[in-house]
Amino acid sequence: MTNTGKDTEDTLRPLKNGFSALLPKVNLRQLKGRIFTILSYLSAILIVVVLLFILGTITIKALPSLNLHFIFTSESNQPGLGGAIGNAVAGTILLSVFSTILATPVAVGTAIYLKRYANNGPAVKTFRFLIDVLSGTPSIVLGIFGFLVFVYYLKSITGGFSLISGSIALAILILPVIERASEEAINNVDTDIEAGSYALGATKWDTIKNITIPSALSGIVTGIVLGTGRAAEESAVVIFTAGYTQFNPEFKVAASDKLLFGIKIYPFQDLVASLPLTVYNAYNYPHLVSSSEAFAAAFVLIVIVLIINAFTRILVWKRRIG
């Protein structure tokens, strides 16, 4: 009996010793945890502070230049560059809208084909990889591609630096954005409802038209709007394809012996300004465009992109509750 008691004591002793030996170690472990917890909080705080600093600085520096006259008047009404951004606001809207119009049917059509018609074989997998490559393309590479093909080789059709060159190049940029979002939206469609549609004798096209597209619509529209935002903020593509002009876009047809059929269709074959390049001008020609004007143009550009992004958020949110 005594033996067993001694045994228990013996087995407990190292545990006791071990425990007390562990005590400072536990503190060290907790200390380590605390340090990294603090680091995590600091990182998050740092990012929020940086963001508020960026947006705050831009807003404060923009305020002196920011007024309705500045936003809606064309630069051509002011001496030299700068002074107003109406032409760039109009140009940015034209470029992003036209590129979206060009890209959307092709992108959505491709997504429907890949998700509902194609089999998921190696060819389709390779194709998806290529679309990923296209979506990760550095924009400058797309920019010089557009420069050489649309502005240089096809000058007689596109008019060189023009709205049409810029829109086509931007359409290629946003095509994969819209395509991927549409594929994902179609992926989320409830296949039971589609099966129900087929069971009722509906054809494939009937099902796609009446079930698949309506169910995926908010997701597809989210992708389209995302693409529009991408097009609006892009600068490296626009600088080599759309050019820049101090004048507002015009709507007219004029004779031109340099172009095919001898006519020039405004605004499509004409130069077009854009806000990102207005901002860039302040870097390139600081004596012409003041820094306050650059920040005002940046402010308007951010607001436009934010409105577009807010629109997508509302769509996503609606989809979640509806």
Instruction: Please list every residue from 81 through 100 that binds another protein, using CB under 8 A.
Output: none
User: Quick check: 244 binds another protein (CB under 8 A)?
Assistant: no
Considering only residues 77, 78, 128, 157, which one is a binding residue for another protein as defined by CB under 8 A?
A: 128
- Taking the CA atoms of 93, 95, 98 and 103 in sequence, report the sign of the dihedral they define: negative
User: Quick check: 314 binds another protein (CB under 8 A)?
Assistant: no
Q: Using alpha carbons only, give the angle 155, 135, 268 rounded to the nearest 5 degrees.
A: 30
User: Quick check: 174 binds another protein (CB under 8 A)?
Assistant: no
Least Å distance between CB 44 and another protein?
A: 4
> Given the rule CB under 8 A, which of 3-11, 72-80, 128-136, 252-260 is the region that contacts another protein?
128-136
User: Quick check: 236 binds another protein (CB under 8 A)?
Assistant: yes
Q: Is the peptide bond before 64 cis (omega within 30 degrees of 0)?
A: no
User: How many positions of this chain bind another protein (CB under 8 A)?
Assistant: 97
> Given the rule CB under 8 A, which of 3-11, 247-255, 287-295, 314-322 is the region that contacts another protein?
287-295
Q: What is the DSSP letter of 233?
A: H
Considering only residues 100, 164, 179, 222, which one is a binding residue for another protein as defined by CB under 8 A?
A: 179
For residues 50 to 69, the per-residue mask of contacts with another protein, x marking binding by CB under 8 A and - elsewhere, is xx--xx-xx--x--------
Residue 77 makes CB contacts below 8 A (sequence gap 6+) with: 83, 84
CA distances from 193 to 13, 44, 104, 154, 198 (A): 68, 43, 26, 48, 9
User: Quick check: 21 binds another protein (CB under 8 A)?
Assistant: no
DSSP 156-191: HHH-SSSHHHHHHHHHHHHHHHHHHHHHHHHHTS-H
264: part of which helix (H) or strand (E)? Answer: strand 263-265
Considering only residues 172, 216, 224, 259, which one is a binding residue for another protein as defined by CB under 8 A?
A: 172
User: Quick check: 276 binds another protein (CB under 8 A)?
Assistant: yes
Considering only residues 285, 291, 314, 318, which one is a binding residue for another protein as defined by CB under 8 A?
A: 291
Least Å distance between CB 78 and another protein?
A: 20
Considering only residues 71, 81, 93, 149, which one is a binding residue for another protein as defined by CB under 8 A?
A: 149
User: Quick check: 201 binds another protein (CB under 8 A)?
Assistant: yes
User: Quick check: 101 binds another protein (CB under 8 A)?
Assistant: no
Burial of 40 (0-12, 13-18, 19+ CB in 10 A): exposed
In 113-245, where does DSSP find H-type helix?
122-136, 139-146, 155-158, 163-187, 191-199, 204-207, 213-233, 238-241
**Residue 195 or 254 with smaller CB distance to another protein:** 195
**Residue 89 or 265 with smaller CB distance to another protein:** 89
